[in-house]
């Protein structure tokens, strides 16, 4: 029963300490509880064995622990792992572990579904069901970290908020999850190893600047031309390129952090040299790097991957103008785990529907 109880994993350490003192407990107990929640991955208060029975009963009567559960897992031929995690009422979100020779990255979701309806993204075909809590976001990282260590004997080096949902429309929980991931009482990750990707919510980009966040920011750009960008991303109608440019300048002035521009390159849509010229002009607004990303097909997507020749020419054009450019080759395509494919084969994304499809 969780009625009337508070989700303990939504509390910061300072907030938990305040509640514990009101319960008549010493402040150091809050640190013990916090370590159980985040470093030892406790699922119940009974797991917290160095706490007295009376304290565990107080915790049980006051709080609940929200834990996501693994619903399904697939492993790609390139060792990418896609996990479907169940949240309340059978809803499912997906997270992906991407191992390469130089890094091991957890790509995690921030919402169940998405409200932005970008035309090239499978998640955009779904409705938004709800935001994930900070704990549910961190759970994905913990599970994927454990998979990296147990299957590949590799540490988790990077975290990207590039899964299902728009992170800046779940601002509070995303920022709080980053605090947990980077705090010494939490997972102890470096904020420079975390990247939050947005489709472009100018108001919230400025809020990141005001909050002086330490993690990295990536903008899903995909076209540096308002007409083209609005064709594939409805959000551009209310957050056009000029507005985004102003917000990015503000963010950089407040944080000093270089911005990443993500550019999925589509055949005969945004792959010409004039598109590269528009991108180069837009990129002048802030210190940046540019990731050119292969397009990954989705059901009824209507786009195709640009040719290798076009991609190479596009990259060279930008490099010749002294921009930092990387071409990102997709991984996990055979299990629909690549960029833009999450939930591609799971439109309803419920546990029951998933089971029905396997019968």
Q: Which residues are catalytic?
A: 94, 339
Tell me the sheet residues that pair with 112: 130
Residues 6+ apart with CB under 8 A from 41: 142
Q: Which two tokens stand for residue 277?
A: 């010229």
- Between CA 83 and CA 170 the distance in angstroms is 21
Residues 6+ apart with CB under 8 A from 150: none
DSSP assignment letter at 125: G
- Between CA 60 and CA 63 the distance in angstroms is 6
Is residue 262 exposed (0-12), middle (13-18) or buried (19+ Cβ within 10 Å)?
buried
- Rounded to the nearest 5 degrees, what angle is found at the Cα of 106, between the Cα atoms of 137 and 158? 110
- Between CA 285 and CA 280 the distance in angstroms is 10
195, 182 Cβ separation under 8 angstroms: no
Which whole-number Å values give the CA distances from 114 to 78, 135, 313, in the listed order?
28, 19, 33
Tell me the sheet residues that pair with 231: none
DSSP assignment letter at 289: E
Tell me the sheet residues that pair with 6: 63
């Amino acid at each position: 029963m969780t009625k009337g109880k508070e989700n303990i994993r939504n509390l910061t350490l300072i907030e938990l300490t305040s509640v514990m003192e009101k319960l008549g407990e010493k402040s150091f107990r809050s640190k013990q509880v916090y370590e159980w929640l985040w470093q030892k991955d406790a699922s119940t208060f009974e797991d917290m064995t160095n706490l007295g029975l009376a304290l565990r009963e107080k915790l049980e009567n006051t709080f609940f622990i929200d834990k996501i559960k693994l619903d399904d897992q697939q492993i790609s031929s390139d060792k990418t792992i896609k996990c479907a995690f169940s949240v309340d009422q059978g809803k499912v979100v997906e997270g992906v572990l991407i191992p390469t020779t130089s890094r091991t990255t957890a790509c995690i979701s921030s919402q169940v579904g998405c409200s932005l309806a970008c035309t090239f993204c499978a998640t955009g075909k779904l409705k938004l069901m709800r935001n994930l809590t900070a704990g549910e976001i961190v759970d994905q990282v913990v599970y994927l970290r454990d998979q990296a260590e147990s299957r590949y004997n590799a540490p988790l080096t990077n975290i990207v908020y590039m899964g299902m949902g728009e992170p800046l429309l779940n601002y509070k929980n995303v920022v709080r999850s980053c605090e947990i991931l980077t705090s010494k009482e939490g997972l102890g990750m470096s904020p420079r190893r975390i990247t939050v990707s947005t489709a472009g919510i100018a108001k919230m980009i400025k809020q990141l600047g005001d909050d002086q966040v330490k993690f990295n920011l990536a903008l899903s750009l995909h076209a540096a031309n308002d007409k083209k960008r609005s064709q594939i991303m409805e959000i551009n109608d209310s957050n056009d390129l000029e507005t985004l440019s102003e917000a990015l300048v503000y963010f950089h002035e407040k944080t000093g952090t270089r911005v990443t521009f993500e550019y999925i390159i589509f055949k005969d849509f945004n792959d010409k040299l004039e598109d590269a010229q528009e991108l180069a002009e837009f990129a002048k607004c802030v210190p940046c790097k540019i990731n050119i990303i292969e397009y990954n097909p989705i059901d009824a997507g209507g786009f195709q991957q640009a040719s290798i020749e076009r991609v190479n020419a596009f990259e060279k054009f930008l490099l010749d103008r002294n921009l930092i450019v990387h071409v990102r080759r997709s991984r996990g395509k055979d299990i629909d785990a690549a960029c833009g494919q999450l939930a591609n084969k799971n439109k309803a994304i419920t546990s029951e529907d998933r089971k029905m499809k396997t019968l």
